[in-house]
A and B are shown apart, each in its own frame.
Chain A
Amino acid sequence: MTGPTGSRPRRWPWIVAALSATALATWLWGIPALLAAIMADAVEAEWGDRVTVDRASWNLGRRITLHGLDVYDEATGRPFATCTRAIAELERSPAGGDPGLLLDLVLEGCTLVGGDDTLATVHRVHYHREGDAPARLAFDGVHAALVPSEIDRWIGAVTRIVSAPGIAPDGGGPLMRAIDVRRTRIEVSFAGTEVRVPVGQLSARIRPTAAKALAIEFVRARAFDGDLTASGDVDWSGRLDYRVQAHLRGIDVNAVGTALGLGAASRGHASAFLALRAPHDPQHGGNPVGSGWVAGTDVRVWDAPLFAAILGTLGLEGTDDDTLEHVDGKVRFDHGRLWLVELIAQGQPVSLFCNGSLALADGALDLGVVPRVAGGRGVSDLPLVGEPTQAILDVVAGTAIQLRIAGRIGEPDVAVQPLSIITEPMRAFFALIRGERSGN
């Protein structure tokens, strides 16, 4: 076929264009897809979990970037970790000794999943491994929500992370050196309650101590505007077991009030300690068990619903200057409840002695409070009390009252109950004192 002038048309520009388009398409889509598939297979082989990668790119040097990395749980078939971008740098180890592979991996924009929920988001994860040496892992900028009764989901996620390269499946290989956590914020909540405990500026080191055991060290954080230090360990070689010891100093009671709904005008300072263990008994509903104590000074909580209800029942009002100078008590987590054990709060306008508990499942209160009204303050006419401003006399006269508190922290239900005479030895003691005073 010939053209109008009789010359043969050139086809080679079209061929060149077609080849160029094919090359460009290969470069833009084909190679990245192939690279993504190769990297996904490589990570799968290394980690043992199914992995998908949306897209990958290579800078023709040491760096490979993966986009849209998902790691799947073999048991459920769902992703347990997702990552927006992963940047891997590979090279041969520096000279000296056996040449090995140096892998420096940075993951950005990660999400950790447990069951159907997001456990945590992580701004940046850094993994570093050199040859056969133990790997290091660092999490930066973690935001997480923790419900203690669901801690097994967290343990499951952490164990998968710890079972990364660096630990042989049979426990015979070198353990991962450490997992550092920095700039972390956790919100601790208790199912069925409105309690929210923010723990910020948290840093910690998690150190594998065996194939299925971790030590949690160097925990530093801010909670309730005070300093939190803690340590613990976890072992899942058999039945899951863990223990944690945490010490809080310089707690701001107002911050506690905000977390527990005690009222915006609360103030005071306190220190506290908790030693918690895994429950190992289904009666605890998955909640940890343990004990602790709290010690507070100059605490003012009279605007909080619970304490306002106590004052209201006694016909008292708390002024701005009225504080509980000393608050001391023990706490215990047991039988699925938080127990207050011999909590004594001494101050104005009333001192309180308390035993009781709060159900961890739904926040239901069951408290007994014995009030002692400070001298010189007016009170309503409560016939069971007699002369309530004379604390000793009302004991000697054989009558006392107890406030029974049910309901919840934000909506307490206060009722007055009489108490029987306290103890015979006490009666004898007071009789002896009365006898001495009268000269008998």
Chain B
Amino acid sequence: MSGLFGIFNVGTRGLITQQTAINVTSHNVANGSTEGYSKQRATIQTTTPYGSPSMNSGVPVGQLGTGSEVSVVQRVRDEFLDYKIRKETSISSQYDARNEVLSEAENVFNETSETGISTSLGKFWSAWQDLATTGNDNAKTTVLENTSILANALNQGYDKLQDIKSNTQASIKNMVFEINSKLNEVDNLNKQIISVKVAGLEPNDLMDKRDNLLDTLSSKFNITIDKKQFYGLDVKPGDVPSGLTTPNLVAAAPNDVVSRFSYINGEIKATTASDGTVTIPLSYYEKGDTASANTQKTINIKFNIGSGYSSLTTEQKKSVDDIIQSKVREIDENRVLWADKDGLALAGADGATIDLGSVDFSGGFSSGVTSLNSTMSDLNSKLKMFTPSSGSLKGYMSSQTDVDNYINQLDSLAKTLAFAVNAVHSGMTDVTNSSGTPDKDYMPFFVNSDVAKYKVDGTMSNLDDILAAEDNINAGNISINKEIYADKSKMKIKTHDDDYKYAADNNVDGKDTARALAIAQIKDKKINIQDISNTINSRKDLFNAGTSSFSDVNDMYLTNTSKGLTIDTYFKDTVDKVGSQVQEAKKIVEGQSTVLNQLNESKEAVSGVSLDEEMANLIQYQHAFSANAKIISTTDELLDVVINGLKK
């Protein structure tokens, strides 16, 4: 049986309930534009009614209500949408990163402009044509200037691509650092959330914050989330190398071991000792933290290919080398290591050596390669690289492969140009010809600028080194021979220049320019460019059986090869490829952003704050509050009657 005081209490409860509801509403309005905020709702329920049948009391008119209370303040959120958004964010960020890197690379190949490599190439050939027609000194100067413009264009393209690659690696490094600190934040929030929940409260805002961080993390790489009790979470990457016992990056259980990532820095190179021991030293920054020298640790990879290796053919040795190089390249492009919570690589302690045993080639080449391949995959499982399948980390890693390919294609172009022009310029299919006259190419047109040295008078001082380094010409170091640049009369443009060490020795040809014409015609010759760096690694290889050759006695005019490409076509193919890849990335980014927009829209529809709705609620609560106050004041009046009115 409730009395007036009971009503008084109902009113008071009502006031408090409405006040709480208004509080929640004001919190919602205040966070109307907060990123990642989910609208909260105060769930109002009736308090336990008064009077239940028992031994000593009846229930006269049924149970009487005792008012309302806010049972819980809950955020409104659809967690399935979160899952989908994170998945799509990973893919979208991956292509965003690719688009970012490749668009930058595309600028190097900006070939619709008048200043691109293909324009320089066109001017280079035209200059040779001009020289063939006029034969005068001005035309020679034009050739030399255009050559140096072309070489510079290639050098710059190469440098830019290398820059892009190292910038990308710097991005990976920063990202590793960011991921690790984000993981720590998630870990902290995880702990707070659990303790709040254990205390029986709803950690709404903390969970919003955690979800926000997880969204950010999912843009870096694809994550998997396991829900544990008390709103605790286990977070791990979607891709975990087999055999890894501690894949969790964040663990709900306080004593579980978690992992972090570390970043491999510096140049990665495999060196082979004379006994066939291959070592790949790796130095890494713990958790990507470059701030202090203490965080730099090393780990070494070692294996032996000594036995039977020396009896392999040159080609077989090369393919063995290629397998090792491709592994090195893989590490170079990835650079992220699994590490323990302090950043020490899971593969071993500081300075540890991962010994992969030895590969035996004595049983034949193919069995050796099989064993080498299995050694390489063994390396994968032992080194424990982090290889996400999506996210911007993946985007940066994969776009490096493409940038490397672009660099290789520029290199092939530079090599072909150097080999072919040098061959026609000298009339020699190899840099040396011990039995012939002259015995070597005394005046190569293109040289390797890393090696070429010149005396004070402008002549080459280390011709033999320069010739030996011709095989290593690439887009980064191709350069015109400065000796020719300084003295244009040293250009070999006459028919019989192939019979003399220097053009000046030729007393046969007078003002002939036939060789210049032959060089100009390389433009339309089909050359096996696609085999460069494969079977063709030197000028000599270019003229091996089945490849290019000279069609005339004076060693001037190149023949077409049956499956070759012209230099121009090859470059166009490269541009086509770059363009297509950027286009693909752009299209996927566009498509993904549509998908993401729709998902975000749905999320907003569920969790977003609608001001109109809040206002309506506010009015409702306000009126309810007033009404409750009215109840109290009415009860007050009733009490006044009872207290002051009944006995005067």
Q: Do A and B come from one complex?
A: no
